[in-house]
Structure 1
Amino acid sequence: MAGITHRTVETHGIHLHLAEAGEGPLVLLLHGWPESWYSWRHQLLALAAAGYHAVAPDVRGYGQSDKPREIEDYSMKHLMADFVGVLDALGEKTAVVVGHDWGSAMAWNLAALHPDRFRAVVGMSVPHMGRTPLPPTQLFKHAFGEKWFYILYFQEPGVAEAELEADIPKTVRTILAGVPGFDTKSAAVQGRKQGDGFLTGLAAPETLPGWLKEEDVAYFAKELQGSGFRGGLNRYRNMDRDWAELPELATAKIEQPALFIIGEKDPGRAFAPVEPMKALVPNLQDILVLPGAGHWIQQERVAEVNAALLSFLKSLPA
């Protein structure tokens, strides 16, 4: 894309691919599952035009970044070290970190545990959860019982990979444009039984929503053809490990200025409550709920998200 440049940096013993635009204060943009830097294509240029250095990595396991093999290589500790290392590689002492989906969880944790490096934080779609009372998979088993739940389905190595990689273009189209398998309120997902998959009962829509182009689906699919789904799925397989390795999240507060943006129709709202975040993020400036928007919010609502981001950034101390 015009105005966006690409390079690879070494950080925390691996190589990460970066897409970047502009000059000025650093804004680090972290994508979620199952995406890539391309999720931020609209924000990179808007931030650059406003006088910021916008940088969107491919998270380890995705796109053109390295893809370590072991499950534990995708723990939150490793991911946070990757992004602190990106600041070092760029010669920057601090950055504003912005994340969506799993990138949001990474952004919140970076702000909580590395406050000297991240001067403000924006989370999208996934609120800051702190540290749950029990390991996450135990909580999910208590909450869902015998019901099918995608995070529990993702735990067995190789199973979801085989399903999702059988027809990657169709998988991407279904997840981004159709009913995603994490929509616990949809009839198709509620009707699943143990042994069903993430795509069971779902169809890839023939017509894309207005915010998503055929070339966008093709780009995501091409990147996932190269990387596979293993790295992204390994992130889910580290949730209990993160719980054990990061007990400090139980008491750590995010004191930096913060903003949270979520779509009114984001399926995650059914199982990731926002209210508890307020006690953990005392300088949360706003919880912005965009009417009618779903999960892929920075792509669905470009103008509104960009306006909110720029307004928040301009409010920060120089």
Structure 2
Amino acid sequence: MKALRTPPERFDELVDYPFAPNYLEVDDTEGGALRVHYLDEGPPDAAPVLVMHGEPSWSYLYRHMIPRFTAAGHRVIAPDLIGFGKSDKPTEREDYTYERHVAWMGSVLRQLDLRNITLVCQDWGGLIGLRLWAEMPDRFARIVIANTALPTGDHPMSEAFRAWRAFSQDVPVFPAGKIVYGGTVNKLTEAEIAAYDAPYPDEDYKAGARQFPTLVPDTPDAPSTTENRAAWEVLKTLDTPVLTVFGAEDKVMAGVEKVFQKLCPGAAGQAHVVLPNAGHFLQEDVGDALADRTNAFIAATS
């Protein structure tokens, strides 16, 4: 599998990202290997908070939340998905599949031997992270679900999602930083926009960012619908504590939190919330509140 690696100097001037890089390799499923970047902050012997980003962001999304987790005594693992951030970027769009992403991140969890995990997942971080929870539930202690879903294609996608997907495929230059900017309420500085653009020197690096919107299962016979339905059958049996924290201004994910509250046994009685003044990338808009609510959730369910 042919892949690109973003030159390290692209990340030299990042604002508010003082974290040391860590790397491991995963099987590319074609006889080679891909390098995955991840952050590993806080006490190494503490139970991990696994924070998973989505499209088209990377671990930079959690830069303001990580210090709040480590200050509370938690270890934080923040991987960059393949195709994003400082991780390797396969050049062909067909190299990116939902199932490969689940396998790649599953390999990360196993190689790091993460246990007693608190998962914080948003956007594609949820589509992948929730599958990992279903695949290896004994590794997870609790789940924080933020502006994400686990779609099976059995229900029509929202008009907002269809508009986003059409834009992502038609726009001549995929504007990663501006996309994150557009998914926030409080908006980003020019330096922050540049940080979201940093992983992509040119369009050749954006195959994954382009492909992700097309991988969301949107019809009953779409790829990965069978796997997601099977995952739901597992999740509906688990009593792992589940907290939903959604953004009130996220039009794509509006109302999806109710699905998790209804179907996940561990969601009963939890302090679910829809936060005002928070868009799709609520880590940018209300990251402090999301981190604090997660810390409180950990304390209440430990």
Q: Is the 8 A contact 1:10 1:16 kept in 2?
A: yes
**Aligned mates of 1:278, 1:60 — CA distance in 2:** 30
Name 1:229's counterpart in structure 2. 206
Name 1:274's counterpart in structure 2. 257
Give the TM-score taking structure 2 as reference length.
0.78
Gap change, CA 1:261 and 1:243, over 3 Å in 2 = same
Q: 2:109 aligns with which of 82, 87, 98?
A: 87
| Residue-by-residue CA offset, 1:182-202 (whole Å, 9 max, x unaligned) | xxxxxxxxxxxxxxxxxxxxx
| Residue-by-residue CA offset, 1:150-172 (whole Å, 9 max, x unaligned) | 36527xxxx8276233xx4xx62
Q: Which amino acid aligns with 1:283?
A: G
Name 2:277's counterpart in structure 1. 292
CA apart distance, 1:211: 5.7
| Residue-by-residue CA offset, 1:91-126 (whole Å, 9 max, x unaligned) | 334422211111122222222232022222111112
Gap change, CA 1:81 and 1:221, over 3 Å in 2 = same
**Aligned mates of 2:177, 2:21 — CA distance in 1:** 24
**Aligned mates of 1:229, 1:243 — CA distance in 2:** 25
Q: Is the 8 A contact 2:117 2:140 kept in 1?
A: yes
Q: Which amino acid aligns with 1:258?
A: V
CA apart distance, 1:312: 1.1
Gap change, CA 1:149 and 1:162, over 3 Å in 2 = closer
Q: Which amino acid aligns with 1:237?
A: T
Q: Is the 8 A contact 1:17 1:58 kept in 2?
A: yes
Name 1:248's counterpart in structure 2. 230
SS in 1 for 2:141: strand
Q: 1:17 aligns with which of 29, 33, 37?
A: 37
**Aligned mates of 1:50, 1:100 — CA distance in 2:** 21
**Aligned mates of 2:299, 2:105 — CA distance in 1:** 23
**Aligned mates of 1:172, 1:43 — CA distance in 2:** 19
Gap change, CA 1:20 and 1:258, over 3 Å in 2 = same
Q: 1:164 aligns with which of 169, 173, 180?
A: 173
Paired residues for 1:16-35 under 5 Å: 16-23=36-43, 24-35=46-57
Paired residues for 1:173-184 under 5 Å: 173=178, 175-178=179-182
CA apart distance, 1:32: 1.1
| Residue-by-residue CA offset, 1:187-236 (whole Å, 9 max, x unaligned) | xxxxxxxxxxxxxxxxxxxxx97562221111111223367332023223
Name 2:8's counterpart in structure 1. none
**Aligned mates of 2:258, 2:228 — CA distance in 1:** 22
Q: Is the 8 A contact 2:58 2:196 kept in 1?
A: yes
Name 2:163's counterpart in structure 1. 150
Q: Which amino acid aligns with 1:63?
A: G
| Unaligned ranges ≥5, structure 1 | 181-207
Q: Which amino acid aligns with 1:62?
A: F
**Aligned mates of 1:255, 1:148 — CA distance in 2:** 31
Tell me the matched-pair count: 270
Give the TM-score taking structure 1 as reference length.
0.74
**Aligned mates of 1:228, 1:150 — CA distance in 2:** 23
Paired residues for 1:125-140 under 5 Å: 125-129=147-151, 131-133=152-154, 139-140=156-157
Q: Which amino acid aligns with 1:27?
A: V
Q: Which amino acid aligns with 1:281?
A: C
| Residue-by-residue CA offset, 1:238-259 (whole Å, 9 max, x unaligned) | 3321114444135222431111
Q: Is the 8 A contact 1:87 1:94 kept in 2?
A: no
**Aligned mates of 2:213, 2:123 — CA distance in 1:** 12
Name 2:5's counterpart in structure 1. none
Q: Is the 8 A contact 2:142 2:242 kept in 1?
A: yes
| Residue-by-residue CA offset, 1:248-307 (whole Å, 9 max, x unaligned) | 13522243111111111111245x533222232111123211122211111111221121
Gap change, CA 1:87 and 1:123, over 3 Å in 2 = same
Q: Is the 8 A contact 2:81 2:87 kept in 1?
A: yes
Q: Which amino acid aligns with 1:81?
A: A
1:4 aligns with 2:19: yes
| Residue-by-residue CA offset, 1:7-50 (whole Å, 9 max, x unaligned) | 11123442211123111211111111111110010111211121
